[in-house]
A and B are shown apart, each in its own frame.
Chain A
């Protein structure tokens, strides 16, 4: 993968000194403590880090499922803080969840067409044609009429990816898309993601799949305790981490 970091292109995601605190009954959690990160169009960024380091929170801030306390996030030139057209931004940013979050009362096809019709206002035939294309692309063309409960985890996650892609997003966010899957299903999902990366989709992926990171990512980012500790090319970061914490973490997962 060639990083498309040409000097004149502005980053499609700009995260500048973002802070996020959660106020709970048991106290305040400072989940993000000043995170800054730029993602260029077409770039694939993999985020790794220990549990509770704020990876999910950062991802969720990018499509405003969480609000930020301070700092700026600009997605596709639209500043998210106070953005009124938040739904428009969200439609440009697809998200894939660890727990799939498919709509259980709708078939795979309906899962993929619903937002197309409601948000993109596509006609039924058009939405269904797109859904069938995407199901073929993720490798399960014959599961259009299956309900999520009738699909394996890997199939469900691929439907979820197809659902996000159906909105023609410019950016895809993946939050540990394979960690709820059995080992034999991980590959089929990663293959889909790899193909997507090769097509030039901008992707931010929280994942500890080193193989995928090496093959697909332009950049790997290590987060701990709400901060970005270190970033770099995946090969470099994984084999030659500079920070002690990165070394410690990598020694645990490798």
Chain B
């Protein structure tokens, strides 16, 4: 009896009835001293099998995930790229009525320049609704003007006026005034309190780059005393295998397997191997026979294998040398430089010369031919750039960054090129909350986590809750004597149980939801389609569980309750169902686990659930092994945790006696 050994002082005062396992060890209780290692081993041996599996899996998973960059990548992708904390609580669009409530901007305009603020904000992200009024100017004071219009008097704060015609109107004049009535503030809610909302209307932009790219740097000080830098920096260089080349873009794979897509417009310099073929004029005319030797020259250092491959790939270009039947022998001869080689071609020492060049000298051979019009050398084709698979070097144009220096380390510098802008609005000035959507996914903003494991969990919980309601409802109908209720519920159960869940989900998404959209004002989101489909499909199974649970409670219970004067619903509610729930908890738990797994089917409704994100990740990176491992592991961890929970609940609800 380990309990008594650990806590000798809580032994009951009255003598315990003899217990078979306890008796033998009672005398030994102070002699048995286990070492810590023994205790640990005993404890582990005493664990049920599922706890051991859970622990091993969890340890392995966490170990591999924290040590492997690939797993960390998948994990991040599957959990909606969470941050630890975020300021981006919501994405909002707020309509506010009084522009004066815009009390300030991050950049710090003062109170009396609010109209300037508004006018300038108009140009960025804050949209305003302008209203035009025409009438007689009847009153003027420093803060407002009052106009007598056809429909009555309007008093307009001067701050809100954006245009007035004529601008210097006096009392009694006929004027036309344009002013701001409503302002739309669009941005990210970053802080809120009882009275105000702080909305970031312009996102900060930061550029971080290596200091050795700096070409020149000058610092200016703004009138507010802020230091701004202007840095001219060298364009980035990339070197890698060319994968695509078009009029507008270049894509290449660098040595570390990262793919780079560049716009041609940004490119300052592009080094693509170019192949030029020159022929001796006489050789071009000659037909080469089987026993002839073709002498081909190249410049020392040229990757000749590559050059010959390129030559092979010159489709649609006339064969530089005319062959007769059979293969000729080729002699490859190297030359120290281009001029020597071209001289040899002109002199007839070479039949042909190949020139594979980089960027600067790509036209060198063509130029040589142009400069030596008398030499007996011809170019059968123009110089030809490599189209793919050769190694290219790309350098982007130099550019200029301007902004505030945030951080300068030995190698890198961070510059805030765009400062964030904030607008603080009073809650009571808000006329309409046009949109509020959860912001970024982070631990302090979990409602912003929408994809991957979060979606899977949320859909499963919502669908299961709904399925419980549906199941209880139909389960109760299944035990009724009323033939209509019984027949209806039986029909539901039998029909739904006989259709694959996938088909039910497709019905929900592509039949029911479009029908509702066309015929009712209901517009179901993808997520609700999934929830409805899952819960409708599982409701049938849960109804059967409830029916069996209710029927497992002996009829005597219902009769005893009825004989005490309870109505049928009361007897159900207070006597039968509480007992039935105990009976059905384990199968209900199993169904919950099954539903969690079946929720993987909702990806057919284009929902980014755990499986779908995994598949996206895999199609992006081709890392199927890591991807599916992580997906499977996350499902497994969730289901193991749930079955543990089911067991605990089962144990807790066991009746005494």
Q: 0/1 per residue, A52-88, Cβ < 8 Å to B?
A: 0000000000010100000000000000000000011
Interface 9-mer from B245-253, B259-267, B305-313, B559-567: B559-567
Please measure, in the bound complex, the distance between the C-alpha atom of A114 and the C-alpha atom of B575, giving whole angstroms: 9
Q: 0/1 per residue, B199-212, Cβ < 8 Å to A?
A: 00000000000000
B563 touches A105 (CB 8 A): no
Please measure, in the bound complex, the distance between the C-alpha atom of A103 and the C-alpha atom of B556, giving whole angstroms: 10
Q: In the complex, which residues of chain B have a beta carbon less than 8 angstroms from the beta carbon of A132?
A: none
A10 within 8 A of B: no
Q: Which of A104, A105, A115, A146 contacts B564 (CB 8 A)?
A: A115
B575 touches A103 (CB 8 A): yes
Chain B contacts with A in 564-612, Cβ cutoff 8 A: 564-567, 570, 574-575, 578-579, 582
Q: 0/1 per residue, A145-189, Cβ < 8 Å to B?
A: 011111100000000100110010000000000000000000000
A90 within 8 A of B: yes
**Given A88-B565, A103-B575, A167-B564; A97-B657 close (CB under 8 Å):** no
Q: 0/1 per residue, B535-559, Cβ < 8 Å to A?
A: 0000000000000000000101101
B656 within 8 A of A: yes
B565 touches A87 (CB 8 A): yes
A93 within 8 A of B: yes
B84 within 8 A of A: no
Please measure, in the bound complex, the distance between the C-alpha atom of A64 and the C-alpha atom of B529, giving whole angstroms: 48
A119 touches B565 (CB 8 A): yes
A118 within 8 A of B: yes
Please measure, in the bound complex, the distance between the C-alpha atom of A87 and the C-alpha atom of B567, giving whole angstroms: 6
Please measure, in the bound complex, the distance between the C-alpha atom of A90 and the C-alpha atom of B560, giving whole angstroms: 10
A90 touches B556 (CB 8 A): no
A42 within 8 A of B: no
A84 vs chain B, min Cβ distance (A):
12
Q: 0/1 per residue, A104-136, Cβ < 8 Å to B?
A: 110000000011001100000000000000000
A94 touches B563 (CB 8 A): yes
B655 touches A91 (CB 8 A): no
Question: Which residue on chain A has the smallest CB distance to residue B564?
Answer: A115
Q: Which of B557, B559, B566, B582 contacts A115 (CB 8 A)?
A: B566
Q: In the complex, which residues of chain A have a beta carbon less than 8 angstroms from the beta carbon of B566?
A: 87, 115, 118-119
Q: Which of A93, A94, A105, A118 contacts B582 (CB 8 A)?
A: A105
A95 within 8 A of B: yes
A101 touches B560 (CB 8 A): yes
Question: Number of contacting residues on B, CB 8 A?
Answer: 21
A90 touches B565 (CB 8 A): yes
Q: Which of B565, B579, B655 contacts A149 (CB 8 A)?
A: B655
A97 touches B574 (CB 8 A): no
Q: In the complex, which residues of chain B have a beta carbon less than 8 angstroms from the beta carbon of A90?
A: 562-565
Main secondary structure of the interface of B (DSSP, over half): helix
A99 within 8 A of B: yes
**Given A115-B564, A115-B566, A119-B570; A147-B655 close (CB under 8 Å):** yes
Please measure, in the bound complex, the distance between the C-alpha atom of A115 and the C-alpha atom of B570, giving whole angstroms: 9
Q: In the complex, which residues of chain B have a beta carbon less than 8 angstroms from the beta carbon of A103?
A: 557, 560-561, 575, 579
Q: In the complex, which residues of chain A have a beta carbon less than 8 angstroms from the beta carbon of B559?
A: 65, 97, 101
Q: Which of A95, A119, A148 contacts B657 (CB 8 A)?
A: A148
Please measure, in the bound complex, the distance between the C-alpha atom of A142 and the C-alpha atom of B579, giving whole angstroms: 25
**Given A103-B557, A105-B582, A114-B574; A163-B655 close (CB under 8 Å):** no
Question: Which residue on chain B has the smallest CB distance to residue A163?
Answer: B564
Please measure, in the bound complex, the distance between the C-alpha atom of A101 and the C-alpha atom of B559, giving whole angstroms: 8
Please measure, in the bound complex, the distance between the C-alpha atom of A15 and the C-alpha atom of B657, giving whole angstroms: 42
Q: In the complex, which residues of chain B have a beta carbon less than 8 angstroms from the beta carbon of A115?
A: 561, 564-566
Range for the number of chain A residues in contact with chain B: 20 to 34
A149 touches B556 (CB 8 A): no
Please measure, in the bound complex, the distance between the C-alpha atom of A95 and the C-alpha atom of B560, giving whole angstroms: 8
Question: Which residue on chain A has the smallest CB distance to residue B579?
Answer: A105
Please measure, in the bound complex, the distance between the C-alpha atom of A87 and the C-alpha atom of B657, giving whole angstroms: 32
A26 vs chain B, min Cβ distance (A):
19
Q: Which of B563, B579, B582 contacts A65 (CB 8 A)?
A: B563
Q: Which of A99, A104, A148, A167 contacts B565 (CB 8 A)?
A: A167
B288 vs chain A, min Cβ distance (A):
102
Please measure, in the bound complex, the distance between the C-alpha atom of A151 and the C-alpha atom of B560, giving whole angstroms: 18
Q: In the complex, which residues of chain A have a beta carbon less than 8 angstroms from the beta carbon of B582?
A: 105
A93 touches B563 (CB 8 A): yes
A101 touches B564 (CB 8 A): no
A91 touches B560 (CB 8 A): no
Question: Which residue on chain A has the smallest CB distance to residue B565?
Answer: A91
**Given A103-B579, A105-B582, A147-B656; A95-B556 close (CB under 8 Å):** no
Chain A contacts with B in 33-63, Cβ cutoff 8 A: 63
**Given A99-B556, A101-B557, A118-B574; A63-B563 close (CB under 8 Å):** yes
Chain A CB count within 10 A is highest, among B560, B562, B574, for B560
Please measure, in the bound complex, the distance between the C-alpha atom of A119 and the C-alpha atom of B656, giving whole angstroms: 27
A206 vs chain B, min Cβ distance (A):
15
B563 touches A95 (CB 8 A): yes
B656 touches A97 (CB 8 A): no
Please measure, in the bound complex, the distance between the C-alpha atom of A151 and the C-alpha atom of B657, giving whole angstroms: 8
Q: In the complex, which residues of chain A have a beta carbon less than 8 angstroms from the beta carbon of B570?
A: 118-119
Question: Which residue on chain B has the smallest CB distance to residue A88?
Answer: B565
Chain B CB count within 10 A is highest, among A90, A94, A118, A119, for A118
B565 touches A105 (CB 8 A): no
Question: Which residue on chain B has the smallest CB distance to residue A149?
Answer: B657
Please measure, in the bound complex, the distance between the C-alpha atom of A91 and the C-alpha atom of B564, giving whole angstroms: 5
Q: In the complex, which residues of chain B have a beta carbon less than 8 angstroms from the beta carbon of A97?
A: 556, 559-560
Q: In the complex, which residues of chain A have a beta carbon less than 8 angstroms from the beta carbon of B565?
A: 87-88, 90-91, 115, 119, 167
B556 touches A164 (CB 8 A): no
Please measure, in the bound complex, the distance between the C-alpha atom of A65 and the C-alpha atom of B557, giving whole angstroms: 12
Please measure, in the bound complex, the distance between the C-alpha atom of A87 and the C-alpha atom of B655, giving whole angstroms: 30
Please measure, in the bound complex, the distance between the C-alpha atom of A91 and the C-alpha atom of B562, giving whole angstroms: 9
B564 touches A164 (CB 8 A): yes
Please measure, in the bound complex, the distance between the C-alpha atom of A63 and the C-alpha atom of B567, giving whole angstroms: 13
Question: Which residue on chain B has the smallest CB distance to residue A92?
Answer: B565
B419 vs chain A, min Cβ distance (A):
65
Q: In the complex, which residues of chain A have a beta carbon less than 8 angstroms from the beta carbon of B657?
A: 146-151
Please measure, in the bound complex, the distance between the C-alpha atom of A101 and the C-alpha atom of B656, giving whole angstroms: 17
Question: Which residue on chain A has the smallest CB distance to residue B559?
Answer: A65
Please measure, in the bound complex, the distance between the C-alpha atom of A97 and the C-alpha atom of B570, giving whole angstroms: 20
- 12 CB contacts below 8 A, A to B, read A63-B563, A87-B565, A99-B556, A101-B559, A101-B560, A105-B579, A114-B574, A118-B566, A147-B657, A148-B657, A149-B655, A149-B656
Known: A90-B564, A102-B560, A105-B655. 5 other contacts (CB 8 A): A91-B564, A94-B564, A118-B566, A118-B570, A119-B566
**Which A-B residue pairs are the 6 nearest by beta carbons?**
A149-B657, A91-B565, A101-B560, A115-B564, A150-B657, A101-B556
